[in-house]
């Protein structure tokens, strides 16, 4: 660990020198690239330097204990040693976490896809509950949610809803939500009071720029048609709805919520880019998972990750065994406890893999 810290500190100093160079300062691309890299290293380097200072103070204070001191001075020196040792341990743990490779997508906006699964109308209603949960969570964070595409049901749920969340760090908070969410409750459509189990699937995709996911125009088939509402009735008199098929992969994205064909096309392309990137990432994650099963996240979207039990007011995350009896608060957007515990579990798994 020490060798790596020394290399990173040397790189940090090298970047400071480069950024002070007038030739680099006049090159916007290089200045931005170096500035971003330095910002990524700043907390690590400052923590490492504080660790060095504390180590030096600890050595000096321990040396004092070997001297001929009065009982009162010895007691003070021992208290100082204990305090410095505690800070040393905390800084070591912090450095280990900072050395864990950061997910390059953490700061990105996300595209969230929610689909009602088994359970008919009740599954669609639950998909609507999840949509409200995530949008309220996003709004509480100061992020901006925006529907890209939706297939609504007549009773207030969604067969499918795709929306974008714009905000720095959105992916880092929502990336653990991909998988099957299960609900156990008495449906509003159930007259006998029996508890039903239904499910919805959630996919969290980092939003990608055009330059990051290149799609050849000849690989696309674009169909336009008239948008339809509930029951199939026409809601537009022009062919504004767009369906884009990526021929090599068979992936399809549709959008009809905007009146403008151009807006629908741009939204559908954003969804398609995210899906293509996610498909490639899922292949890589699946390969890693074959060797290491400790990860909180996996490439398997069919994995049941969480159960929302209404009769017991309990939410259980099956990956880390966390249960919370704050179901209503969670569905109202209070996800912080689960986000923190899932992130901690993934960091612990990554630290274990580093040893």
Q: Where are the chain's structural domains?
A: 2-99, 110-289+298-351
pLDDT of residue 334: 96
DSSP line for 46-113 = HHHHHHHHHHHHHHHHHHHHTS---HHHHHHHHHHHHHHHHHHHHHHHHHHHHHSPPPTTTTS-EEEE
pLDDT of residue 294: 45
pLDDT of residue 236: 47
Rounded distance between C-alpha atoms, residue 319 and residue 296, angstroms: 6
pLDDT of residue 80: 94
What are 51-64's pLDDT values in tens digits? Answer: 999 999 999 999 98
pLDDT of residue 245: 95
Residue given tokens 């919805």 in the structure block = 200
What are 146-200's pLDDT values in tens digits? Answer: 999 999 988 889 999 999 999 999 999 999 999 999 999 998 767 677 899 999 9
Asked whether the predicted pLDDT for residue 292 surpasses 80, the reply is no
Rounded distance between C-alpha atoms, residue 219 and residue 126, angstroms: 36
Tell me which residue of 228, 253, 252 sits closest to 240, measured CA to CA.
228
What are 317-355's pLDDT values in tens digits? Answer: 999 999 999 999 999 999 999 999 998 888 888 777 665
Asked whether the predicted pLDDT for residue 209 surpasses 70, the reply is yes
What are 226-281's pLDDT values in tens digits? Answer: 776 554 444 444 578 899 999 999 999 999 877 788 999 999 999 999 999 998 88
CATH 3.10.20.600 holds for 110-289+298-351: no
- Alpha carbon dihedral 295, 299, 303, 308, in 10-degree steps, equals 70
Region 134-141: mean pLDDT is 97
Per the prediction, the chain carries an average pLDDT of 88
- Dmax (CA) for the chain in angstroms is 95
Q: Which region, left, alpha or beta, applies to residue 329 given φ > 0 means left and ψ of -120 to 50 means alpha?
A: alpha
What are 25-50's pLDDT values in tens digits? Answer: 999 889 999 998 999 899 999 999 99
Query: Checking DSSP bridges between strand 304-309 and strand 251-255, what pairing results, if any?
Result: unpaired
118's tokens: 């088994």
Asked whether the predicted pLDDT for residue 290 surpasses 70, the reply is no
Model confidence, pTM: 0.72
Burial of 26 (C-beta count, 10 Å sphere; 0-12/13-18/19+): exposed
């Amino acid at each position: 660990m020490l060798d790596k810290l020394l290399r990173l500190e040397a790189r940090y100093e090298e970047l400071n020198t480069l950024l002070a160079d007038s030739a680099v300062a006049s090159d916007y691309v290089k200045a931005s690239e170096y500035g971003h890299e330095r910002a990524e290293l700043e907390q690590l380097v400052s923590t490492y330097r504080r660790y060095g200072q504390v180590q030096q103070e600890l050595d000096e204070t321990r040396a004092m204990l070997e001297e001929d001191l009065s009982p009162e001075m010895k007691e003070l020196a021992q208290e100082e040693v204990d305090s410095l040792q505690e800070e040393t341990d905390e800084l070591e743990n912090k450095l280990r976490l900072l050395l864990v490779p950061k997910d390059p997508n953490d700061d990105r906006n996300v595209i969230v896809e929610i689909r009602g699964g088994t359970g008919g109308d009740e599954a669609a209603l639950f998909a609507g509950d999840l949509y409200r949960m995530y949008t309220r969570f996003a709004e509480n964070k100061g992020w901006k949610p925006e529907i890209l595409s939706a297939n609504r049901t007549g009773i207030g749920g969604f067969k499918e809803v795709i929306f974008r969340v714009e905000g720095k760090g959105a992916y880092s908070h929502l990336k653990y939500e991909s998988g099957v969410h299960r609900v156990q409750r008495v449906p509003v459509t159930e007259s006998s009071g029996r508890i039903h189990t239904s499910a919805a699937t959630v996919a969290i995709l980092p939003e990608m720029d055009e330059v990051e996911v290149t799609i050849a125009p000849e690989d696309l088939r674009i169909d336009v048609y008239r948008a339809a509402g509930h029951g199939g009735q026409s809601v537009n008199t022009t062919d504004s709805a767009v369906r884009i098929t990526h021929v090599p992969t068979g992936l399809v994205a549709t959008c009809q919520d905007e009146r403008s064909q151009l807006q629908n096309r741009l939204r559908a392309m954003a969804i398609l880019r995210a899906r293509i990137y996610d498909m490639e990432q899922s292949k890589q994650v699946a390969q890693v998972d074959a060797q290491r099963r400790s990860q909180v996240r996996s490439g398997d979207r069919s994995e049941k990750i969480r159960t929302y039990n209404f009769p017991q007011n309990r939410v259980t995350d099956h990956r880390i065994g966390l249960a919370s009896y704050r179901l209503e608060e969670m569905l109202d957007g209070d996800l912080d406890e689960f986000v923190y515990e899932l992130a901690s579990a993934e960091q612990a798994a990554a630290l274990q893999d580093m040893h």
